[in-house]
Amino acid sequence: MDFTAARKAMVDSQVRVNDVTDRHIHAAMLTVQREAFCAPDRAFAAYADGAVEIAGERKLMPARDVAKLLQAAEAREGERALAIAAPYAGAVLARMGLKVTAQEADQAVLDIVAPALAAEGAETVLAPLDQPVGENWDLIVCEGAVVSAPEAWGAALRPGGRMVVVERRSAVGKAALYVKGREGLSRRELFDSAPAMLAALTPAPTFAL
């Protein structure tokens, strides 16, 4: 399979046509090898218009949604970014010149994505997803859906820092941009999105008699 041609087709047919105009995002996505972040037997599907398996229940967010999240975040070269369960987004940010730490909670996922992240100059760490490593991040990004963004994520941002995440309580969720100001976090909805839920951050169902 010609992955170089597939990357160009992905950017042309999934990214540019969905109002993603940031040329830095285009350039990074044309270079980062998305197939390296998939389960080896799913590499052929890396550039399809949809989610693709990494390991277990974890999936990469569709490229369109990754691009739209990163454009809304207004990532800038030299900033510090924490990619929580967001290996492909983290690699794209690293290619754009940010200093990226990719946090995963599942060793099986990390075993697949760590080499590709290292190739882009990103650091990796294994830690529970609701406990962000470090502090004073300029940007936090997540590729999996959560019911609501954990408070600890917002607390780990610096003043003026941004966070992009999909919050999902039904079949379709809402991508949201959070910005940390003096009075706390502001929230703005961006677009509809339905990435796979992060099991580690999904509350167990409750039953009432």
Domain count, the chain: 1
Is 58 within the bounds of a domain? yes
pTM for the model stands at 0.93
Is 131 within the bounds of a domain? yes
Is 205 within the bounds of a domain? no
| 194-209 pLDDT, tens digit each | 898 998 787 655 444 5
| 166-179 pLDDT, tens digit each | 999 888 999 999 99
Contact by Cβ (8 Å): 140, 146: no
Parent domain of 151: 3-200
Is 206 within the bounds of a domain? no
| 3-49 pLDDT, tens digit each | 999 999 999 999 999 999 999 999 999 999 999 999 999 999 999 99
- Which has the closest alpha carbon to 173: 148, 141, 153, 154? 148
Is 109 within the bounds of a domain? yes
| 93-115 pLDDT, tens digit each | 999 999 999 999 999 999 999 99
Residues in the chain: 209
In this predicted structure, the answer to whether residue 155 has a pLDDT above a threshold of 70 is: yes
Tell me how many degrees the CA angle 77-82-85 measures, rounded to the nearest 5.
130
Which run of H or E residues covers position 27?
helix 23-29
Is 208 within the bounds of a domain? no
The CATH number of whichever domain residue 30 belongs to comes to 3.40.50.150
Is 209 within the bounds of a domain? no
> Is the C-alpha dihedral spanning 76, 162, 15, 199 positive or negative?
positive
Is 65 within the bounds of a domain? yes
